[in-house]
Amino acid sequence: MQAILEREALLERRLHVSDPSTLWDKLSLAQKFAASSLTQFGYDLAYVREQKEGSLAILLCDNNAATISSDGEINTAPKISVR
């Protein structure tokens, strides 16, 4: 029963679309600078994933993804699957 509730909570979180300004508030200062530069190339902030190492910002442009680590490091070829 607990596993079903946890799964439903994860699905609910995936369906929730955050307000873009709320997402920007979750970014570190370094991530904001990096994300600002990527938006000039057409990327949009899609979501922010919280991890042990800090937050990871995921930006999308057409079929391309880019990530920004909590210290502002940009990866334009991340090994992630965007659903």
CB atoms closer than 10 angstroms to residue 45: 23
Going by their DSSP bridges, the two strands 54-61 and 44-51 should be labelled as antiparallel
pLDDT at position 16, please?
A: 46
pLDDT at position 15, please?
A: 43
Left if phi > 0, otherwise alpha if psi is -120 to 50, otherwise beta: which for 72? left
pLDDT at position 51, please?
A: 86
- Taking every pair of Cα atoms in the chain, the longest distance, rounded to a whole number of angstroms, is 47
Entry pTM = 0.74
**pLDDT truncated to tens, each residue of the chain (83 aa)?**
666 666 665 554 444 455 667 889 999 999 999 999 999 999 999 999 988 888 999 999 998 999 999 999 999 999 987 77
